[in-house]
Structure 1
């Protein structure tokens, strides 16, 4: 008998990254943090839907084709402006990316699709008016789905921290899995060490908070304050576009393999051994390293990730319930 695969619902922005080429000419690349997470899961052969906004324009069509090519089901509402949102990208000498946004986020509703995991994050969680819709979607599904959160800080969109901090804190209390960079934590709570903030978060609802530190690896924090260190993965960096999103998507996939999904997923997550958690976070770091080794947001396929882990290529069902 065929066992139904867990489904993931991602809610958030999809946009065009406008990146200068070697000659300084702007080039369009599909992106957006939640869209990148959806792409990662699609390439890992997961059943994933993305609720987003797209303009009725060539850029919107480009994004739709990009998502569908990685087997993401696109549930897109039209933007109020008719234009697809953009992010002008600047890369520094290390390949680190910064962004200037032209963003439309007036999401009015999230379709009532059942899911085993709901993932939200980035601009979609803090930019009104759509942020309220995202919060309502999380609240409506929390009792029957595992909640994943990636609260990217975007000072260019919300220069005043007050509103975003309050909204992120509210979502953290509803979340089961939180992936956040040390830079984002320092922007949200500059008065505290990032791991200190993550430890507080892990005491307020989540079963796992992972702090990513770029090339320095990651720290996983569990309820009760236990911290697990994951070293950085040596890699030649092309750029960092989509690195954190790939990490989030691979982490969700690794936890799905451990049975963290659906109504009982919250309890499964808390019962995992430290070894299982370390394995999931290490796998996510390896997936992110593959992404940064090539230009733009380009997450690994299932076969590429298996090869990097030294595993035979196969589907992702082992260990699922």
Structure 2
């Protein structure tokens, strides 16, 4: 065991609820940061997730999923319901989405400092919890490397200009940034995603990664660009 955890992930858990006509709801553990934490722990890393879970069935299901995968889960004292995303499928398979997400994470004392901090998604831009995330990154980045994934969810981002400012602030605090071309299209409509990522690189990160679906990915570094 290391004297401090390999990874601290800060961000939301989401209960992904699939609703079909005439069938009981199916609930799946989700949330982009929670998925990162689960993956890291399954790969054998000492991983802590700082998140928000309600005292409800969805919260208990997600906590069991995470701890079963080896994640140490830390939460604040909030009693808000566990965030949920409901996808309703009609008889022809068409999907409609509804989000029931609040992010009010308050400060949580950490007994050990991480070697690396990862954050992103709703948690980094939705107030009041985003202020807690920002303060944590500010306080830990001198001793830990930082990665960030905006994982844009347009329905939850609020005012576009304010969301862009918050995302760019997170980029400037990070060593590694990963975004999809769809994320960048929403943030900077009409602009080439890789060119936009190049501006992010100039803001401070050592590496910016852009995923482009079937078109592969691009890695931008101070010394050049690599495509895969």
- Normalising by structure 2, we get a TM-score of 0.90
Report whether the alignment pairs 1:206 with 2:196: no
State the partner residue of 1:64.
63
> Once superposed, which parts of structure 1, at least 4 consecutive aligned residues long, lie more than 3 Å away?
2-6, 20-25
Contact 1:80 1:104 in 2 (8 A): no
Q: Comparing both structures, which one devotes a greater share of its residues to strand?
A: 2
Q: Is the 8 A contact 2:7 2:46 kept in 1?
A: yes
Question: Alignment RMSD, CA only?
Answer: 2.3
2:178 aligned partner: 179
Deviates more, 1:111-120 or 1:18-27: 18-27
The 2-side partners of 1:101 and 1:49 are apart by 26
* Deviation for aligned residue 1:6: 5.7
- Structure 1 residues 295-319: Cα deviation after superposition (integer angstroms, max 9, x where no partner): xxxxxxxxxxxxxxxxxxxxxxxxx
**Residues 98-144 of structure 1: CA deviation (Å, up to 9, x unaligned):** 85321121111142330000000000000000001101100001111
1:87 matched to 2:85? The reply is yes
User: In 1, Cα distance between the equivalents of 2:96 and 2:107?
Assistant: 30
Structure 1 portions without partners, runs of 5+ = 231-321
Q: Which runs of 5+ in 2 are unaligned?
A: none
Change (3 A) 1:13 1:182: same
Deviation at 1:214, TM superposition (A): 1.7
Q: Displacement of 1:23 after TM fit?
A: 7.0
Q: How does 1:1-321 map to 2 (within 5 A)?
A: 7-20=6-19, 25-81=24-80, 83-89=81-87, 99-112=97-110, 113-224=112-223, 226-230=224-228
Q: Using a 3 Å threshold, how does the CA distance of structure 1 residues 30 and 203 change in structure 2: closer, same or farther?
A: same
Residue 156 of structure 1: SS of its match in structure 2?
helix
Q: How far off its partner does 1:85 sit?
A: 1.1
**Do the aligned partners of residues 148 and 26 (structure 1) sit closer, same or farther apart at CA in structure 2, a change above 3 Å counting?**
same
